[in-house]
Amino acid sequence: MAAAKYKIGKIYETQGNKEFFIPAFEDAMQIDPNYGPAIYELFFYYYYHSEVDKAADYFNKFLAVSDPGPNNDYDRISLLYIQKKYADLISQSKDKLTTLGDKADPRYYKLIAYAYNDQGDSVNAKTYLDQYFSKQKQEGFVPMDYTFRADVLSKFPGNEAEAIKSYNLAVAADTTYDGKLELLNKGAGLARKVGNRAEEANFLKQLYNLKKTPSNVDLYNLGQAYYQSKNYVVSDSIFCSIYEGKYPDEIVGYLWCARSKAAQDDSVNSQGLAVEPYITLISKAKQIDSVKYKRQILQSIYFLVPYYYNIKKSKDSAMYYTEMGLAIDPADANLLNFKEILTKPPPPARQPAAKPKTGGTSKPATK
């Protein structure tokens, strides 16, 4: 039952589980050495993993048991790609496009684009890839088409949005868990590279929700993407709620919670949104490791002293945090400056202006 083994292999292949689908295809060949579908799947796998000798071997075995056809010609020419015979690939692909015209397989355009791209010719790569996307039917696209297009487009300024869109299409088209994870990581990387932090956050959010066991680094990267895209309300919800709750013994959540809150306030932080988070940050930093997190404690104090002095008009509270900071670093220039301001005596009260003296015999002015 070679067909049964082959179908089992196809099920595992949709999961990206090579530990099972490769043995299943090999079992199908053992049962029936002439079973073409299993042979072709092994050729296809080794081709995409650039194992030239194995790919060529399985392709020749497939040719021996299959009828001649246009797909065989395409696969034969595509082998030139992993053999890095770019000139031959381009020449033979162009011959097919010229000879067959509208009946030619659109994938020849893609092959040519790959060959040019590998040689550093992005202009020709884009030209042929654009033709591929204009001629290929929707059902003919595979996830790698979209990622390749995104990579090519990203080399041309002004195409960043279209490149990111291609990664989203690739994610939607991929049915495997590992494939989606890889695509989401690459999409986030591209979005960050071109400075679109909002789209980076979009990819990282999908990545975090997809992962079976997301890590603290995944959560930090997600919060940072929202923070850097100036979506402080969401970064607040990530760091203040989720991160602090999941990792209460790490300083990261408390630090970026405070910064997210401060970023939501006005230029002088008159609402005091970050006051409690910074007070909590000081407490947690001291509790976890006051020496290691000395800088975070001092930065918190730099925020609190001006807030209490300028906004709350509480000199006592401002002095309290100044003294707290000087206990940690007596030579800190900022804190010494704060203390000088706080201890400076107030200017003397202004005396009322003296009234002019008038004599009792003065006469009123007359014309």
Q: Using alpha carbons, select from 260, 264, 335, 259 the residue that is nearest to residue 294.
A: 335
Backbone angles phi and psi of 137, in degrees to 5: -75, 155
CA distances from 92 to 43, 79, 81, 108, 111 (A): 21, 12, 12, 9, 10
Per-residue pLDDT of the chain in tens (367 residues, 90 and over written 9) = 999 999 999 999 988 889 999 999 999 999 999 999 999 999 999 998 989 999 999 999 999 998 888 899 999 999 999 999 999 999 999 999 999 999 999 999 999 999 999 999 999 999 999 999 999 999 999 999 999 999 999 999 999 999 999 999 999 999 888 889 999 999 999 999 999 999 999 999 999 999 999 999 999 999 999 999 999 999 999 999 999 999 999 999 999 999 999 999 999 999 999 999 999 999 999 999 999 999 999 999 999 999 999 999 999 999 999 999 999 999 999 999 999 999 988 777 676 666 666 555 555 555 4
Structure tokens given for 148: 């390749």
Are residues 208 and 222 in contact, defined by beta-carbon separation less than 8 angstroms? yes
CA distances from 319 to 22, 248, 269, 272, 309 (A): 71, 29, 19, 18, 9
Look at residue 367 in the predicted model and tell me its pLDDT: 47
DSSP 183-222: HHHHHHHHHHHTT-HHHHHHHHHHHHHH-SS--HHHHHHH
**CA dist., res. 249 & res. 274, Å (int):** 20
What's the full length of the chain, in residues? 367
Helix (H) or strand (E) holding 169: helix 160-173
Q: Over pLDDT 70: what percentage of the chain?
A: 95
Q: Using alpha carbons, select from 9, 29, 11 the residue that is nearest to residue 21.
A: 9
Look at residue 328 in the predicted model and tell me its pLDDT: 95
Q: Is the dihedral of CA 102, 103, 108, 110 positive or negative?
A: positive
Look at residue 199 in the predicted model and tell me its pLDDT: 97
**CA dist., res. 111 & res. 138, Å (int):** 18
